Amino acid sequence: MKLKLEDFNCHWLKLLIAIYFKNIFRIPYSEVNLDKIEKLILDKKIDPSEIIDAKKLLELGIIKKINEKIKLLAKGELKNKINIEVSASSKSAKESVEKNGGVIKILDQKKSDKKIKEKSEV
């Protein structure tokens, strides 16, 4: 098999795209796992009866900035009832919190979700 100049250029182009392409529509989230919250509750750094929000997570050093978007993920197991305010959550994390009697409040909803809710209320 002989290599042609066109083949060589194609491979370089694919390599450059793979290295330098960045999704301009990506929304960066700070990820918070259920096992981390459970550990903080067991260490008595978080009171499970209070609302866990960005300010509380910033004080504990889990997030770096107060205006970061927070996503709750279901890594680990939650044994306590918690009330938490986040920007997004995974489906399994939401089910785990609600199974224990807790509440997840989603702060930043997508525009399409808001439009659907407005139409359903009318």
Per-residue pLDDT tens over the stretch 72-98: 999 988 888 999 999 999 999 999 999
Q: pLDDT of 52-63, one tens digit each?
A: 999 999 999 999
- Using DSSP bridges, classify how beta strands 30-33 and 83-86 pair: parallel, antiparallel or unpaired: unpaired
Pull the structure tokens for residue 117: 């809710």
What span, in angstroms and rounded, lies between the C-alpha atoms of 77 and 116?
32
The pTM assigned to this predicted structure is 0.70
Supply the mean pLDDT for the chain: 82
Q: How confident is the model at residue 13 (pLDDT cuts 50, 70, 90)?
A: confident
CATH of domain 30-121: 3.100.10.10
Please tell me the distance from the alpha carbon of residue 29 to that of residue 60, in angstroms, as a whole number: 17
Query: Can you tell me the mean pLDDT for 91-116?
Result: 80
**pLDDT for 46 beyond 70:** yes
Neighbours of 86 (CB within 10 A): 24
Measured CA to CA, the distance from residue 29 to residue 22 in angstroms comes to 16
